[in-house]
Amino acid sequence: MSMHYFFKIGQPTKNVTFLYIHNFIKAFSIKCNNDVFSAQGEEADRKESF
């Protein structure tokens, strides 16, 4: 999804749009970090079992 799309949704005020995008990015990056950590954890578990 492009930033332009978010700006079109959040036209009422720029602050609302900014907060919306900021929260979206924060949630997205947290999700990505969790995916990375869980993947690393699985890798570590596999190494220990061998």
10-32 per-position pLDDT tens digit:
555 667 778 888 888 888 888 87
Torsion of CA 22, 28, 30, 33, to 10 degrees: -140
Counted residue by residue, the chain has a size of 50
Structure tokens at 37: 């950590």
Statement: residue 39 has pLDDT above 80: no
- Give the pTM: 0.40
